[in-house]
């Protein structure tokens, strides 16, 4: 008997997440930090590159963001918030400098790939694949290369930065232990989830960018700052969140995207590497300026991937609130003004005759 289409789809989704969990288990066995996210991302990208369907519910990304954001929000205790006030100026300065470094990378990308200045800027300034694609359509440039470059940089950050920092740091023997050892209770975890969901829907109601991360983070941070009886989630919940986010991220990277960006790929890889190196240099400079550890500052200034950088800080048990605050400040500076930045770039490009070299 032929199964109903809804049943077949449910089985397909379950098989996808089973495969993602299997790859996560392998990454865990190897000893990767964020193993469930990296394993799931590699599996999902492989499925899409094989041109197989990946019918995952869109809500899974939102659930993953809420779970991770609220876990990060736990670190915003009154003492942590008080300690971060002296870092507000470096946070704002790092956000502005990241935009400037994005334009440096854009100029490099234009030279390598001969794309126009708007495509190069949208591909280089860290603002996320969805937001950059929307602006590409508004300015009549092809969204494919832009989505590819933004997605590629995020994937490189997730695959390279956490393992490198954990390996160089050398103090973490078991990357999973820090996440799995958090104390929790059913009531505390439930209250944490409720605070995150409330913050997410409040953020969406007022039109904030990335509401399911920023709003959930804000809700949990308020609960932590008020010393409400919230606790961490049980570790399997964080595993689920990593798998949800990893499958979503890997699923973006399909063969059609590669076809649309074929001539753009080598230059984009080099430009992504350049942006990561430039932000690494900024992070090392801020290490000297702020007195924070180099690990915290490199995670704080990574050009994107706030979720993954925050989880890495949680693994290192160092500077989680600082890392998150740096990324949130940058999000609130770049995303609301992204349209203005790209619009001004377009006007200046027209006035000065800046086109693809």
pLDDT digits (tens, 9 = 90+) for 306-332: 777 887 888 887 788 888 889 888 887
DSSP helix/strand/coil, 65: helix
Provide the whole-model pTM: 0.76
Distances (CA, A) of 38 to 33, 45, 158, 195: 8, 11, 7, 28
pLDDT value for 101: 96
Is pLDDT of 149 > 80? yes
**pLDDT band of 179, cuts 50, 70, 90:** low
**pLDDT band of 355, cuts 50, 70, 90:** low
pLDDT value for 167: 83
pLDDT value for 331: 80
pLDDT value for 357: 45
Pick from 181, 231, 236, 206: which is nearest to 73 by CA? 231
Contact status, residue 85 vs residue 298, Cβ threshold 8 Å: no
Task: Give, in degrees to the nearest 5, the angle at Cα 99 between 315 and 298.
Answer: 25
The two tokens of residue 153 are 């940089």
142-165 average pLDDT score:
83
In this structure, is the dihedral angle defined by the CA atoms of residues 310, 312, 317 and 322, taken in order, positive or negative? negative
d(CA 93, CA 88): 9
d(CA 161, CA 157): 5
Mean pLDDT of the chain: 84
- 201 versus 338: the higher-pLDDT residue is 201
Q: What would the pLDDT profile of 233-282 be if each residue is shown by its tens digit?
A: 998 898 899 899 888 878 877 777 677 767 788 899 999 999 999 999 99
Q: What would the pLDDT profile of 73-129 be if each residue is shown by its tens digit?
A: 887 778 777 767 889 999 999 999 999 999 999 999 998 988 889 999 999 999 877
**pLDDT band of 176, cuts 50, 70, 90:** low
Determine how many CB atoms are found less than 10 A away from the CB of residue 338: 21
pLDDT value for 320: 81
Determine how many CB atoms are found less than 10 A away from the CB of residue 317: 12
pLDDT value for 356: 47
pLDDT value for 137: 80
DSSP helix/strand/coil, 184: strand
pLDDT value for 139: 85
């Amino acid at each position: 008997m032929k199964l109903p289409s809804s049943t077949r789809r449910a089985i397909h989704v379950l098989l996808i997440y089973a495969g993602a969990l299997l790859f996560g288990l392998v990454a865990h066995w190897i000893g990767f930090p964020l193993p469930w996210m990296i394993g799931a991302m590699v599996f999902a990208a492989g499925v899409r590159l094989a041109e197989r369907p990946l019918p995952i519910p869109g809500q899974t990304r939102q659930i993953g963001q809420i779970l991770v954001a609220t876990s990060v929000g736990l670190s915003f205790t009154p003492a942590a918030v008080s300690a971060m006030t002296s870092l507000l100026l470096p946070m704002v300065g790092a956000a502005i400098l990241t935009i400037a470094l994005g334009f440096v990378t854009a100029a490099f990308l234009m030279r390598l790939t001969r794309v126009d200045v708007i495509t190069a800027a949208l591909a280089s300034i860290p603002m996320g694949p969805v937001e950059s694609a929307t602006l590409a359509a508004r300015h009549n440039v092809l969204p494919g290369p832009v989505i590819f470059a933004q997605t590629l940089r995020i994937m490189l950050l997730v695959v390279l930065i956490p393992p490198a920092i954990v390996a160089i740091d050398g103090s973490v023997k078991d990357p999973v232990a820090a996440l799995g050892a958090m104390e929790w209770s059913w009531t505390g975890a439930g209250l944490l989830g409720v605070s995150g969901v409330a913050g997410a829907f409040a953020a969406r109601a007022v039109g904030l960018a990335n509401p399911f991360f920023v709003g959930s983070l804000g809700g949990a941070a308020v609960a932590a700052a008020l010393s409400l009886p919230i606790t961490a989630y049980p570790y399997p919940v964080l595993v689920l969140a990593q798998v949800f986010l990893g499958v979503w991220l890997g699923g973006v990277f399909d063969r059609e995207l590669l076809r649309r960006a074929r001539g753009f790929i080598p230059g984009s890889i080099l430009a992504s590497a350049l942006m990561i190196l430039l932000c690494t240099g900024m992070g090392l400079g801020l290490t000297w300026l702020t007195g924070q550890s180099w690990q915290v500052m490199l995670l704080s200034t990574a050009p994107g991937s706030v979720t993954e950088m925050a989880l890495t800080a949680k693994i290192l048990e160092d500077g989680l609130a600082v890392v998150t605050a740096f990324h949130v400040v940058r999000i609130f500076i770049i995303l609301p003004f992204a349209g203005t930045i790209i619009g001004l770039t377009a006007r200046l490009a027209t006035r000065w005759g800046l086109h693809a070299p």
